């Protein structure tokens, strides 16, 4: 891990990508302080105001400040993506460790289950699960987490299969170390680096999937200032009042590009 970090900090481009991601996170955490207006405040006399010095990104059909809602939506977007990836990766790590370490029937059951989930388009399966659970952001995050764990399980399983026959693992077995200790204290630390790379690369897709579910009404519900939901609410006015959908959509685009850049930089460093 230390060697990996040393390689990463050598290139200026890596620092730029990481700095942009850090700025985005800080802005999201300070969202309520940066927002010039109440993101939920309705003022019908101000509806459909174009971008101006008073309203940087204009106002929507209820007179709410679009800029304030975009800023408030940043923390929601990052928190949703983080919860999804942490949940999916934790589930995937446990399943991948157990499956790769024990093999046999256990491995067969988990891998065939992951094959079934991977066979379906992720968004379609997440949509079906979210529809069954009910349309809200929490259920959308649960649905996406259940769809995404196979990628992490397969990554960890592959690492375990390449490590479990190494001399130090065999030595630990001969000394009487328990399976749990071997898996979590000795194998897992060697899996952390590729896992971090994968999680970082998945931040952008997780945000897009969450926003997509909100866009079609299966995620965050109005008046929650969630970017996908905001794009959906403004799409009917897109020809006359373009700013209502354009700015939340641009926020999604910029955020995804930044985290994809960080993930790609991490991946290139790991493969050096």
Q: How far is CA 10 from CA 6, 20, 125, 269, in A?
A: 7, 17, 41, 10
- In sequence order, what are the residues at sequence separation of 6 or more whose Cβ sits closer than 8 angstroms to the Cβ of residue 58? 48, 49, 50, 51, 52, 66, 241, 243, 244, 247
Helix (H) or strand (E) holding 146: helix 137-163
Q: What is the pLDDT of residue 16?
A: 84
Cβ contact 191:156 at 8 Å: yes
- In sequence order, what are the residues at sequence separation of 6 or more whose Cβ sits closer than 8 angstroms to the Cβ of residue 139? 130, 133
Cβ contact 61:47 at 8 Å: yes
Q: What is the pLDDT of residue 7?
A: 66
Which residues face 59 on adjacent strands? Answer: 65
Q: What is the pLDDT of residue 133?
A: 92
- The pTM (predicted TM-score) of the whole model is 0.87
Cβ contact 265:17 at 8 Å: yes
Q: Hey, what are 132's tokens?
A: 């069954």
- The domain total for the chain is 1
Q: Hey, what are 7's tokens?
A: 């390689």
Q: What is the pLDDT of residue 3?
A: 59
Nearest to 215 by CA among 77, 92, 91, 88: 77
Domain of residue 126: give its range.
2-271
Render each residue's pLDDT in the chain as its tens digit; 272 residues.
565 666 666 777 777 888 888 888 888 888 778 888 889 989 999 999 999 999 999 999 999 999 999 999 999 999 999 999 999 999 999 999 999 999 889 999 999 999 998 888 888 999 999 999 999 999 999 999 999 999 999 999 998 988 888 888 888 888 888 888 888 888 888 888 888 888 988 999 999 999 999 999 999 888 889 999 999 999 999 999 999 999 999 999 999 999 998 888 888 777 65
Q: Hey, what are 57's tokens?
A: 């990104």
Which CATH number goes with the domain that contains 249?
Answer: 1.10.3720.10
Q: What is the pLDDT of residue 271?
A: 65
């Amino acid at each position: 891990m230390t060697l990996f970090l040393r390689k990463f900090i050598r290139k200026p481009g890596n620092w730029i990508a990481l700095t942009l991601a850090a700025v985005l996170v800080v802005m999201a955490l300070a969202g309520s302080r940066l927002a010039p207006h109440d993101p939920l405040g309705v003022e019908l006399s101000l509806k459909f105001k174009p971008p101006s010095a008073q309203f940087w990104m204009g106002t929507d059909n209820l007179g709410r400040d679009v800029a304030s809602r975009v800023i408030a939506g940043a923390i929601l977007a990052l928190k949703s993506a983080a919860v999804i990836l942490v949940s999916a990766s934790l589930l995937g790590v446990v399943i991948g460790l157990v499956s790769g370490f024990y093999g046999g029937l256990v491995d067969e059951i988990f891998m065939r289950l992951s094959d079934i989930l991977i066979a379906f388009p992720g968004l379609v399966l997440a949509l079906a699960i979210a529809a069954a659970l009910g349309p809200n952001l929490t259920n959308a995050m649960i649905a996406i987490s259940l769809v995404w764990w196979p990628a992490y399980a397969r990554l960890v399983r592959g690492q375990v299969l390449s490590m479990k026959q190494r001399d130090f693992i065999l030595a630990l077995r001969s000394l009487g170390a328990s399976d749990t200790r071997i898996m979590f204290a000795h194998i897992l630390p060697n899996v952390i680096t590729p896992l971090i790379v994968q999680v970082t690369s998945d931040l952008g897709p997780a945000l897009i999937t969450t926003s997509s579910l909100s866009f079609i009404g299966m995620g965050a519900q109005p008046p929650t200032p969630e970017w996908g939901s905001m794009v959906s609410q403004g799409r009917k006015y897109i020809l006359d009042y373009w700013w209502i959908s354009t700015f939340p959509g641009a926020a999604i685009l910029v955020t995804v590009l930044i985290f994809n850049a960080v993930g790609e930089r991490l991946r290139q460093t790991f493969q050096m």
